[in-house]
């Protein structure tokens, strides 16, 4: 965040200096001094008016500046993670085929290692229906421009062959950018036991 503000400050200073340079065709500097002072004051105010709201928005929202790779691919790690979660809940098999790497490592809540085929099959079974979820304590960890991890706690509920179910767990999805597109390469699920009833 501090680096983003420094970039904005440098931009504002550069814009102010470049736009406030007096013309080389003007007469003696003493003749244009009052004009330059008024121009500098007006343009400094204009630059601050444009830049400060953006800087304040970055500070208040905690938004990280997009990386060069994000700008090139058009999608951030967080945006892809959101789409990935929704594709699972919608049982969108074709979307999951594109989003999941062929060599996916999937560690289930019981500690079993599975792959892409088992992961997608678990989300697209004909008799299952999933409710919307709420993510708690979500942590997004960029690992450079082309990799990152997203972790959160949630309760997955719905019905399986008409029978209601609910499971509380924490997951960690690891994503890698392959040929300019994000892919899920490692997924681990840890079940959270329900507190004992009194």
Domains of the chain, by residue range, sit at 2-65, 69-191
Residues in the chain where the model's pLDDT stays below 70? 1-74, 198
pLDDT of residue 1: 44
Place of tokens 């509380």: 168
Q: With contact defined as beta carbons under 8 Å apart, do 90 and 131 qualify?
A: no
Question: Is-contact 106 114, C-beta < 8 A?
Answer: yes
pTM given for the model: 0.63
| Rg of the chain on CA atoms, in Å | 26
Helix H or strand E segment including 109: none
Residue 110: its pLDDT value, please? 93
How high is the pLDDT of residue 196? 76
Q: Tokens 């999951």 sit at which residue?
A: 96
Task: Tell me which H or E stretch contains 185.
Answer: strand 181-191
Class of domain 69-191: alpha beta
Q: DSSP characters for 133-198? A: ---EEEEEEE-SSSEEEEEEEEEEEEEETTEEEEEEEEEEEEEEEETTEEEEEEEEEEE-PPPPP-
Question: How far is it, in rounded angstroms, from Cα 81 to Cα 160?
Answer: 25
């Amino acid at each position: 965040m501090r680096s983003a503000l420094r970039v904005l400050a440098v931009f504002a200073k550069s814009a102010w200096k470049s736009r406030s340079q007096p013309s080389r065709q003007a007469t003696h500097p003493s003749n244009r001094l009052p004009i330059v002072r008024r121009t500098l004051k007006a343009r400094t105010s204009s630059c601050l008016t444009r830049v400060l709201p953006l800087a304040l928005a970055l500070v208040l929202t905690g938004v990280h500046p997009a990386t060069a790779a994000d700008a090139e691919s058009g999608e951030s790690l967080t945006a892809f993670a959101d789409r990935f979660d929704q594709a699972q809940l919608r049982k969108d098999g074709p979307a999951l085929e594109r989003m999941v790497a062929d060599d996916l490592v999937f560690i289930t809540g019981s500690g079993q290692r599975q792959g892409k085929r088992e992961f997608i099959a678990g989300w697209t079974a004909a008799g299952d229906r999933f409710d919307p979820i709420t993510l708690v304590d979500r942590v997004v960890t960029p690992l450079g421009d082309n990799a990152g991890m997203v972790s959160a706690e949630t309760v997955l509920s719905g019905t399986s062959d008409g029978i209601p179910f609910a499971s509380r767990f924490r997951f960690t999805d690891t994503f890698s950018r392959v040929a300019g597109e994000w892919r899920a390469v490692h997924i681990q699920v840890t079940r959270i036991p329900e507190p004992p009833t009194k």
